[in-house]
Amino acid sequence: MKFYNKSSKLDHVSYDVRGPVLEEADKMVKRGIDIIKLNTGNPAAFGFKAPNEVIDDLITNARHSEGYSDSKGIFSARKAIQQYCQLKGFPNVDIDDIYTGNGVSELITMSMQGLIDNGDEILIPMPDYPLWTAAVTLAGGNAVHYVCDEEAEWYPDIADIKSKITSRTKAIVLINPNNPTGALYPKELLEEIVKVAREHQLIIYSDEIYDRLVMDGLEHISIATLAPDLCVITFNGLSKSHRVAGFRCGWMVISGEKKHVRGYIEGLNMLASMRLCSNVLSQQIIQTALGGYQSVDELLLPGGRIYEQREFITNALNEIPGITAKKPKAAFYIFPKIDTKKFNILDDEKFVLDFLHEKHVLLVHGKGFNMPTPDHFRIVYLPKVDELKMTTDALGDFLQNYRQK
């Protein structure tokens, strides 16, 4: 009999947000155990509703969305994205520079497949949203992780970035606002990153899916606006801001200088046409979603659900002996640090599994976000405060007697 194994291309690819810890939680659910799942940033699962106008648009347009569209997307969607970019100040964005995708996820994978030759290096933040590392690895590249410094608001460490550039480095990836840390990068820092990219002629990839989920009156600045002379590829979508993660609606925008990336763009066009097009029905909602009133804003102000949940989770975590957590400024994740000496933690996945087994709450371990040390975990703080309180009470209680064996 012939046996089939997974492709060796997948040997070093991992995506732990839905990996072994989720498999274990699902097994427990099958045994009839209720689990609080705080592993994915899926607003609809926690009772956040999509705006009515978006749903109405979807229903109205169903009949006009039966066929394939242009590979890059329908005109009205791309026009709305172009205008969104103009308002933010992106330089040099033509309608043809915009690609819609089945979520940002598809476009991350596509953009790396189109760029990387075996052994090419891509600078990726550490911690990262792990799809970036997975996409680089799957494409045959090396994800070279640069430090984001917890003691400096989780900002990228410029000296570390510089020290990791080699003749094989093709690009730098930014996740701003950041998942998993909730950091938001100020203009001066972005300018420093642009300087480094300029000096080494790197392409900049900026994942900005949380750009409309910023708190405390802060402003999100797209790095594309600071780099008219470089090629910047910016990713965004509606999964989070419009609570429609299931619709798979994302886009990427190539801005700035493109002379030197013509060949790469040809490759991207080829990959876009190979998947024919992205879901046309969800493209139909982009114009309505991006125009006018943004209902997500009220969730982010004092009294709004995401704001209040952030206040609660930050304070409650910091009250647990052995846990410290920087307050996130954007998105809906927090990435606390755990005192590994105090609890003898050598393996953070085991810590998450031990907590899951005892308290029936699912978190994701820091190594799932490519942290080199076992001293972090991520909480999605989308549940209401009473459920978050159950989580932090359970964690405090669990840690009172925890020593990893």
Cβ 153 to ligand PLP shortest distance, Å: 18
Helices 20-30, 348-359: crossing angle, 10 deg rounding:
20
Cβ nearer to ligand PLP, comparing 41 with 336 = 41
**Residue 98 structure tokens:** 């915009």
- If one asks whether residue 127 binds ligand PLP (CB under 6 A), the answer comes out as no
Helix 385-400 with 305-318: angle, nearest 10 deg: 10
To ligand PLP, the closest distance from the beta carbon of 357 in angstroms equals 26
Q: Which of 245, 317, 356, 395 binds ligand PLP (CB under 6 A)?
A: 245
Q: How far is the CB of 135 from ligand PLP (least distance, A)?
A: 10
Are the CB atoms for 35 and 383 separated by under 8 Å? no
Query: Is there binding between residue 336 and ligand PLP (CB under 6 A)?
Result: no
Q: What is the residue type of 195?
A: K
Q: How far is the CB of 211 from ligand PLP (least distance, A)?
A: 11
* Residue number of the CB atom closest to ligand PLP: 103
- Give the list of residues 6+ apart from residue 326 with CB closer than 8 angstroms, or none: 150, 153, 154, 181, 182, 334, 335
Number of residues that bind ligand PLP (CB under 6 A): 13
CB of 3 to ligand PLP, least distance (A): 33
360's tokens: 């029936």
**For residues 73 and 237, which CB has a smaller minimum distance to ligand PLP in the complex?**
237
Pick between residue 333 and residue 343 the one whose CB is nearest to ligand PLP: 333
Strands 377-380 and 98-102: unpaired
Amino acid at 205: Y
By beta-carbon proximity to ligand PLP, the closer residue of 41 and 368 is 41
Distance CA 24, CA 30 (A): 10
Residue 316 in the binding site for ligand PLP (CB under 6 A): no
Binding to ligand PLP by CB under 6 A, coded x per residue (else -) over 342-371, reads ------------------------------
Among 250, 256, 328, 366, binds ligand PLP (CB under 6 A): 250
**Binding status of residue 129 toward ligand PLP by CB under 6 A:** yes
Residue 237 binds ligand PLP, judged by CB under 6 A: yes
Residues 201-230 that bind ligand PLP (CB under 6 A): 207, 209
SS (H, E, C) 142-170: EEEEEEEEHHHCCEECHHHHHHCCCCCEE
For ligand PLP, the binding residue among 109, 179, 278, 370 (CB under 6 A) is 179
Beta carbons of 345 and 338 less than 8 angstroms apart: yes
Q: Which helix (H) or strand (E) holds 124?
A: strand 121-126
Residues 28-57 that bind ligand PLP (CB under 6 A): 41
Vertex 109: Cα angle to 104 and 110 (nearest 5): 95
**Of the candidates 85, 26, 352, 358, the residue with the CA atom closest to the CA atom of residue 232:** 85
Give 325-380 as a DSSP string: -PPP-BTTEE--EE-HHHHT-S-HHHHHHHHHHHH-EE-EEGGGGT-SSS-BEEEE
Q: Tell the smallest beta-carbon distance from residue 281 to ligand PLP (Å).
A: 16
For 114, what's the count of Cα atoms within 13 Å in the CB-facing half-sphere? 22
| CB atoms inside a 10 Å sphere around CB 74 | 21
Identity of the residue, 252 or 320, whose beta carbon is nearer to ligand PLP in the bound complex: 252
Site for ligand PLP in 64-123 (CB under 6 A): 103-105
Output 239 or 370, the one with its CB closest to ligand PLP: 239
- Of 175, 224, 317, 325, which lies in the binding site for ligand PLP, with binding defined by CB under 6 A? 175
Closer of 129 and 335 to ligand PLP (Cβ):
129
* Host H or E run for residue 172: strand 169-175
User: Rounded to the nearest whole angstrom, what is the least distance from the CB of residue 184 to ligand PLP in the complex?
Assistant: 13
- Least distance in Å: CB of 41 to ligand PLP? 4
Closer by beta carbon to ligand PLP, 250 or else 322:
250
Residue found by looking up tokens 């009220």 in the block: 298
DSSP for 214-232 reads: B-TT-----GGGG-TTSEE
Nearer to ligand PLP, 104 or 285 (CB): 104
Nearer to ligand PLP, 25 or 135 (CB): 135
Footprint of ligand PLP (CB under 6 A):
41, 103-105, 129, 175, 179, 207, 209, 237, 239, 245, 250
